[in-house]
Every structure is written in structure tokens, then in C-alpha cells.
Amino acid sequence: MCPAKEIYKVEGFDACTEIERRKDWLKNLKDDEFLKEIDSCGLPPKALAVDVGCGIGRRTALLAGHRRVGSVIGIDIHDALLKEAGEYFRVKRITNVRLMRNDAYNLDIADQTVDLVRCDSVLWTTRTPLKVLGEIKRILKPGGKFILTNHDSTGVEHLSHPPYPRAYSEFSRKFNSYLKSCGADTFVGHKLASLCLERGLKVLEAKLESSLDLGPLSPAKVRQHWSFVEEWAPQLLEKGIVQPRTLKEAKRAYGVWATRPSLSLVRLKFKVTGCRP
């Protein structure tokens, strides 16, 4: 089974919560920056683009509307997210997107037919990211471009201030360790460029983007973060990874820490752009 499927099939997974969290996250993204990123790819007219991990389709819609893009294939493995995306395209009358339920290990797309592949925050869910990159290389035309992005938890705890409270820090380490045992890697971001080179892809640019939240997080952001944890809570408790009291104390500690007036919270995201030689 694709590890991403395991992540989305956790007991207690709430598709509605996931959809709302993605909507909240997308509010912080700037559409003009995204479109400039596509501009920089130098796509041919009527390009075919593939959005691996399209989710609820908001960025897919922007991609479909780009002046150089003729059609887009949006791929995800979660039916509820694809349904939300399809409804959004219907309301917005976007007709040049085809949605496909597919995992990233076996893309149902012909060899060397794609001009651009976008893959945002997907590789962290995969046990073997090299296989996913192999699929991206396979479907790209020679010279076809790719854009990979992924957040990275490396050093975030040490860069943020005040330091994580002990109860949350200890829980976070156990949680990340369990995610990794399920095939997820929250530290994959800084490995992206190296993995691309290993797979034989050409890296044109690799950069680290950081953001800084100053002051207390909004209640919506606190809920957004903890809702992801709560999707995994039944498994964590059932397998004895944490105890109910530990989970409760971690949630309380995070809530207090995240709403401190002096909070400085660092987020790291790595982005790699390149092409198939």
C-alpha cells in the first residue's frame, strides 16, 4: 500500500477537517507569486501540466488558467479531496482540468508526454521518494520542467523562541518517529535536490524559503496544527506511543506556547525546480 494511503486512512480521519485545514493554509499563499513561478518555467504554448497531490484544487485551478497551459491533470489519492476539487472547478467553470485518483508511485500517464510537473508537499508522505521522482522523470518530455516543494521540520524547534515546552517537545519527537515508521518523513525537504540528482534529473534552482510568525498564533492556526495531530491520536493511543494524559498535556502546553505574545515561530520550506535532461 502507498504510505500516503496509510496516512489518509488513519482511524478517525476526518475529510471535512482536512479540507478546511487546506483552505486555511491556502489563504496565506500569494497567487501572483505562484503565477510568476509558472512564468519562469518557459512553457510551450498549450502545455500539459500535472499537479501531483492536487488536494482541493485551488492551486490546480491557477495552473489551469495560466496563459501557457492548455490542460492540467490533477492527481490525488483521496476521494473526498478530489470531490471538493471537482465541485470547485464546476462552480468556477474550469473545463481544462482532468482529475485522476492515482498514487504517486504509479502515475497513469504515458511516457514523455508532460511539459510541467508540480508536486507540492507530497514527498514527505512517501517511503521511497526516489520512486516518485522516477515517475516524474518518466512522464516528463526531454526538457520538461518540474517544481517540487516540501516543508521540513529540521531545526524548527531550535529556531523558534521561546523553546517548545517540554511536554510538547517530548510528544513531538514521539509523533515524528511514529510518522516515519508509517512511511512519512517530515524532514525530507532538505533532501529534495540531492534526491533529484540521484534520480538523474537536472536541478536548475534549489532554495530554502523561511517564514516567521511573530506574536501569538490565531485560534484558527492553533486548531489547524492540532487537527492534524488529532487525526493520528487514535493510533498513537492504541499502539501505546503516548498515553491519554501525555496527549492532553502536550495539547495544553502547545496551546499556551502558541499564544504567547513574544512568540517567534520559524517555518522552513525547500523548493527545487529543474528539468528532465
Q: How far apart are CA 177 and CA 179, in angstroms?
A: 5
Residue whose C-alpha is closest to residue 104's, from 73, 126, 121: 126
Q: What is the pLDDT of residue 256?
A: 95
Instruction: Kindly report, residue by residue over 128-175, the tens digit of the pLDDT.
Output: 899 999 999 999 999 999 999 998 988 777 788 999 999 999 999 999
Do 72 and 49 meet the contact criterion of CB atoms below 8 Å apart? Answer: yes
Q: Tell me, what's the pLDDT at 230?
A: 84
Residue 40 is classified by DSSP as T
Of 67, 54, 62, 72, residue with least CA distance to 4: 54
Which pLDDT band holds residue 9 (cuts at 50, 70, 90)? very low
Model pTM score: 0.83
Domains along the chain? Answer: 3-275 (3.40.50.150)
User: What mean pLDDT comes out for the span 13-41?
Assistant: 66
CA distance 170 to 164: 9
* Alpha carbon 174 to its chain's center: 21
**Stretch 215-229: mean pLDDT, rounded?**
84
49 Rama sector, left if φ>0, alpha if ψ -120 to 50, beta otherwise: beta
Q: Which three cell numbers stand for residue 216?
A: 501569538
8: left (phi over 0), alpha (psi -120 to 50) or beta: alpha
Separation of alpha carbons 236 and 178, rounded Å:
8
Question: What torsion, rounded to 10 degrees, do the Cα atoms 177, 183, 184, 190 define?
Answer: 100
Model confidence at 227: pLDDT above 70: yes
What does the pLDDT look like over 92-126, one tens digit per residue?
Answer: 999 999 999 998 999 999 999 999 999 998 998 88
What is the model's pLDDT at position 6?
Answer: 43
**Length of the chain in terms of residues written:** 277
With contact defined as beta carbons under 8 Å apart, do 211 and 267 qualify?
A: yes
CB 121 within 8 A of CB 81: no
Going by pLDDT thresholds of 50, 70 and 90, the confidence category of residue 10 is: very low
Q: Above 50 in pLDDT, residue 177? A: yes
233-258: pLDDT as tens digits: 888 999 999 999 999 999 999 999 99
pLDDT at 211: 81
Give pLDDT tens digits for 56-101: 898 999 999 999 999 999 999 888 889 999 999 999 999 999 999 9
Q: Grid coordinates representing 115? A: 511539459
Contacts of 179 (CB under 8 A, 6+ apart): 185, 186, 232
Q: Which three cell numbers stand for residue 194?
A: 540531492
